[in-house]
Chain A
Amino acid sequence: MIPSLNSVALHDVVDQQLVRFTGMIQDMQNPEMYLEQYEVQDSITKQTTVKMGKYRDIPACGPDEVFIDDSRSNVHRERQVLCCISIPALNPWVKQLLATGTDRHTEVKPLQHENKRAYSDESASSNKALSSSISPPGTSVKRVCCDKKHVPRNVRCDTELHLPLPESQAKTCLVKVYDSDPALALNDMIEVVGFLSVDPRLCLISEEMEDEGAQFHNLPGSLVPRLHAVSVRKLKHNNPLLELNFCSSADEVLGLARLVRQDLHLVLSQVLLGDHLAANYFICHLISSVFQRSELLALGQLSLNISNVVCGHGYTEKLYTVLRQLVTKSHYQPLTIENLNKCTFTPKKDYDANRLVSGILQLSTQTHLVLDETCLEPGQLDSNGVHNVAALGTLISQQKVDYDFQFYKLEFKADVPVLVLSEGKSLLPNDVAVPLEPDSKCLETWNEIFEAVNHYLQEPVLQRLRKYLTAVRLLEYCLPQDLEQVIQDDFVRLRRETDTKTSASDLHLLLVLSRLVSLSQGEGTLSRESWDLACSMEKQRKQRINGRVHQP
Chain B
Amino acid sequence: MAGKDYINDKEKLKQFLIEFAAIDAEGHKDFKYVHQLVKIAHREKVALIFELDDVYEFDSGLAEAIVNNTRRYVSIASEVVYEMLPDYKQREVTAKDSLDVYIEHRLLMEQRLHQPGEQRDPRNKYPPELMRRFEIYFKDLSLNKPIPVRDVKAEHIGKLVTVRGIVTRCTEVKPMMVVATYTCDQCGAETYQPVNSLTFMPLAMCPSEDCRVNKAGGRLYLQTRGSKFIKFQELRIQEHSDAVPVGNIPRSLTVLCRGETTRQALPGDHVSVSGIFLPLLRTGFRQIAQGLLSETFMDAHRVVHLNKTEVDEAPAADLTPEEVQQLTHEDFYGLLASSLAPEIYGHEDVKKALLLLLVGGVDRRPQGMKIRGNINICLMGDPGVAKSQLLSYIDRLAARSQYTTGRGSSGVGLTAAVMKDPLTGEMMLEGGALVLADQGICCIDEFDKMADSDRTAIHEVMEQQTISIAKAGIMTSLNARVSILAAANPAFGRYNPRRTVEQNIQLPAALLSRFDLLWLIQDRPDRDNDLRLAQHITYVHQHCKQPPATVQALDMRVMRRYIALCKKQEPVIPEELTDYIVDSYVEMRKEARNGKDMTFTSARNLLAILRLSTALARLRLSEQVEKEDVKEAIRLTEMSKDSLNHAEDRHGRAQNVMDRIYSVIRELAGESKTVKMADVLERCASKGYTPDQVEECLEEYEELNVWLINQARTKITFV
Contact = CB atoms under 8 A, between A and B. Distances in A.
Answer whether A and B are interacting partners. yes
A33 B279 contact: yes
B154 A30 contact: no
A413 B246 contact: yes
Chain A interface size range: 35 or more
Contacts of A383: 409-410
Nearest to B154: A76
Interface string A477-510: 0110000100110011001100110011101100
Interface in B524-540: 524-525, 527, 530-531, 533-535, 537-538, 540
A412 B247 contact: yes
A59 interface: yes
Given A35-B292, A499-B525, A386 B409 contact: yes
B153 interface: yes
B291 A67 contact: yes
Contacts of B538: 479, 484, 487-488, 507, 511
Interface in A75-102: 76-78
Given A34-B293, A515-B541, A491 B534 contact: yes
B411 to A, nearest CB: 8
A32 B293 contact: yes
B542 A33 contact: no
Interface stretch (A370-378, A401-409, A454-462): A401-409
A77 B295 CA distance: 12
A297 B343 CA distance: 8
A299 interface: yes
A69 B286 CA distance: 13
A208 B252 contact: no
B687 to A, nearest CB: 34
A508 B541 CA distance: 8
Contacts of A69: 281, 287
B292 A182 contact: no
Contacts of B290: 205
Interface string A33-46: 11100100000000
Contacts of A28: 248-249, 251
B537 A507 contact: yes
Given A299-B540, A383-B409, A186 B248 contact: yes
B540 A504 contact: no
Nearest to A390: B409
B385 interface: yes
B291 A58 contact: yes
Contacts of A208: 285-286, 289
B236 interface: yes
A204 B285 CA distance: 10
Nearest to B522: A500
Given A479-B538, A500-B524, A356 B168 contact: no
Interface stretch (B65-73, B389-397, B428-436, B473-481): B389-397
A33 B294 contact: yes
Interface in A434-493: 478-479, 484, 487-488, 491-492
Given A28-B248, A67-B288, A186-B248, 13 more contacts: A32-B293, A38-B292, A57-B293, A76-B154, A295-B396, A299-B541, A351-B168, A405-B241, A491-B531, A500-B523, A503-B384, A503-B385, A508-B541
A187 B290 CA distance: 30
A139 to B, nearest CB: 10
B546 interface: yes
B524 A484 contact: no
Contacts of A33: 154, 157, 279, 293-296
Interface string B540-568: 11101110000000001000000000000
Interface string A116-143: 0000000000000000000000000000
Nearest to A515: B541
B86 interface: no
A484 B543 CA distance: 12
A507 B384 CA distance: 13
Q: Which of B290, B292, B542 has the most CB of A within 10 A?
A: B292
Interface in A149-208: 182, 185-188, 201-202, 204-205, 208
Contacts, number: 167
Most central of A33, A185, A214, A352 by chain B CB within 10 Å = A33
Interface in A232-251: none
B354 to A, nearest CB: 14
B251 A31 contact: yes
A489 to B, nearest CB: 8
B288 A30 contact: no
Given A76-B157, A495-B525, A408 B241 contact: yes
Given A205-B290, A208-B285, A383-B410, A505 B541 contact: no
B533 A34 contact: no
A387 interface: yes
Contacts of B531: 488, 491-492
A273 B530 CA distance: 39
B345 A504 contact: yes
Contacts of B545: 292
A56 interface: yes
B3 interface: no
A27 interface: yes
A50 interface: no
A295 B530 contact: no
A48 to B, nearest CB: 16
Nearest to B279: A33
Given A503-B385, A504-B537, A484 B289 contact: no
Most buried by A among B249, B253, B392, B556: B249
Nearest to A355: B249
A296 interface: yes
A492 B527 contact: yes
A507 B342 CA distance: 17
Contacts of B241: 405, 408-410
A34 B294 contact: yes
Contact of A77 (B154, B386, B396): B154
A296 B343 contact: yes
Interface in B314-343: 341-343
B250 interface: yes
The 5 A-B residue pairs with the shortest CB-CB distance, nearest first, are: A185-B247, A488-B534, A59-B291, A491-B534, A479-B542
Nearest to A488: B534
Contacts of B385: 503
Interface string B262-297: 000001100000000001010001111111111110
Nearest to A492: B530
Contacts of A214: 295
B247 A187 contact: yes
Contacts of A405: 238, 241, 250
Given A383-B410, A390-B409, A488-B535, A56 B384 contact: no
A319 to B, nearest CB: 30
Given A57-B293, A78-B154, A204-B289, A408 B248 contact: no
A182 B245 contact: yes
A291 B267 CA distance: 39
Contacts of B205: none
B244 interface: yes
Contacts of B537: 504, 507-508, 511
A201 B289 contact: yes
B266 to A, nearest CB: 12
A182 B150 CA distance: 11
B364 interface: no
Contacts of B343: 294-297
B392 A296 contact: yes
A274 interface: no
Contacts of A491: 530-531, 533-534
A58 B289 contact: yes
B174 interface: no
A511 B252 contact: no
Contacts of A495: 525, 530
Nearest to B397: A295
Contact of B525 (A57, A500, A511): A500
Interface in B151-166: 153-154, 157, 166
